[in-house]
Structure 1
Amino acid sequence: MSNAIVGYEYEPDSRPPVLGESPTIRSGTIIYNDVVSGDDFRTGHNAVVREFTTLGDNVLVGTNTVIDGETDVGSNVSLQTDVYVPTNTTIGDNVFVGPGAVMTNDPAPTRQQTSLRGPTLEDHVSVGANATVLPGLTIGRGSFVAAGSIVTRDVPERRLAVGSPATLERLPEQLRGRNRL
């Protein structure tokens, strides 16, 4: 954990993070106080995990990935390099989020005061590289968001979201089943 900060004190009364067994925290990473992780938590270099985030077992937070706090992440989750996870996001179990994917939580940035609502990625969701998921949406269990897609509406269970804006299609046979992370 050289050159990493585990327990960034953002407020004087914040509590040190609680990490499960066998964490691997790489250099440049910052883990804020009030973070709780399960066993086998791993980061790439320069990852940031903000306060009030909970992480299950076997979670990877890739290089340059940011989780902006008040977020729940399940077990067996892989957030690859350069992923952005905003405040108030929920990620289920066995979820894969590809490099450069972005989730958002503000439906009207800087235009009006609104509640920040991150998306929900249910169990066994896969999100391809450079995809964008807009605020407050739900990506249903077993669904797949294709690389580069911009998701502007909820995706039902076991569907393929593809394009910009994403259209919903039947999930091809080769993409059916569960993620094996």
Structure 2
Amino acid sequence: MELWYWVFLLLPYSPLRIWWLRLGGAKIGRNCFIDRIFLMNLDRTGLFGLTLGNDCYLGPVVLLDLAGRITFGNQVSVTARSSILSHHSVGYSDHPLLKFYPKKVLHTQINSGSVLGVSCLILPGVTIGRESLVAAGAVVRTDIPDHVMAAGVPAKVKKQLR
């Protein structure tokens, strides 16, 4: 998988990156744009846990943790330097903190029409509601409902968008 990923990093255009991701098992809809993103934990589920709907945008230096599944609905935009995680772990199976913080692998979902601002951190198992905006720099620890703007550390609903 490591050689596959190095080839991916060298691909200069979004259509080539999308083709290469699909070849690896990702499900990607029509009219998507994928900038130079980073993928971690490909050795866990490979790309089979990655699903993007139609008209999605993944900006530069976006980090996707593919230890578990990550699903994007249609028309989702993830802007530069945002991170979307699907697991947390303190490390090796004999780590002394494991009894307090057991490993969890969870499905993380960004629903249709949502936008993640620059440098957002979406923690494992979070669902971002439909047509919601997560402001730049937010750390999202819990689910965000549909049609809201959330901001802050930790992210809280600041405004209804309907």
- Relative to the length of structure 1, the TM-score reads 0.66
Count matched residues.
140
Asked whether the equivalents of residues 42 and 61 of structure 1 are also in contact (C-alpha less than 8 Å), the reply is: no
Which structure's residues are more often helix, by fraction?
A: 2
Cross-structure match for 1:84: 63
Q: Structure 2: how far apart are the matches of 1:131 and 1:63? A: 17
SS at match of 1:148: coil
- Using the TM superposition, give the Cα deviation of residue 115 of structure 1 relative to its aligned residue in structure 2, in angstroms: 4.4
Q: Percent identity?
A: 22
Match for residue 36 of structure 1?
none
1:27–1:162 Cα change, 3 Å: closer
SS of residue in 1 equivalent to 2:124: coil
CA drift at 1:58: 1.1
Q: Which residue number in structure 2 is paired with residue 159 of structure 1?
A: 148
Opposite residue 170 of structure 1, the aligned amino acid is K
Q: How does 1:63-102 map to 2 (within 5 A)?
A: 63-66=36-39, 68=42, 69=47, 70-87=49-66, 88-102=69-83
- Who is 1:29 aligned against? 11
Aligned match for 2:118, one of 113, 129, 154: 129
One-letter amino acid matched to 2:134: V
Corresponding residue for residue 169 of structure 1: 158
Q: Deviations over 1:50-85 (max 9, x none)?
A: 833110111111124437522111110000000012
Structure 2 residues without counterparts, runs of 5 or longer: 92-96
C-alpha spacing 1:158/1:66, structure 2 compared with 1 (3 Å)? same
**Which amino acid letter does the alignment assign opposite residue 75 of structure 1?**
N
Whether the 8 Å CA contact 2:9–2:36 is kept in 1: the answer is no
Partners of 2:130 and 2:9 in 1: how far apart?
A: 34
Could you say what the CA RMSD is over the residues aligned between the two structures, in angstroms?
Answer: 3.1
Give the match's secondary structure for 1:169.
Answer: strand
Q: What letter matches 1:79 in structure 2?
A: L
Q: Which residue of 2 aligns with 1:34?
A: none
1:8 & 1:135 partners in 2: Cα distance? Answer: 25
Call closer, same or farther: CA 1:101–1:134 in 2, change over 3 Å.
same
Aligned equivalent of 2:94: none
Which amino acid is 1:101 matched to? S
Which runs of 5 or more residues in structure 1 are unaligned?
1-6, 10-25, 31-39, 177-181
Return the alpha-carbon distance in structure 1 between the equivalents of residues 136 and 74 of structure 2.
Answer: 20
Distance 1:84 1:106, change over 3 A: same
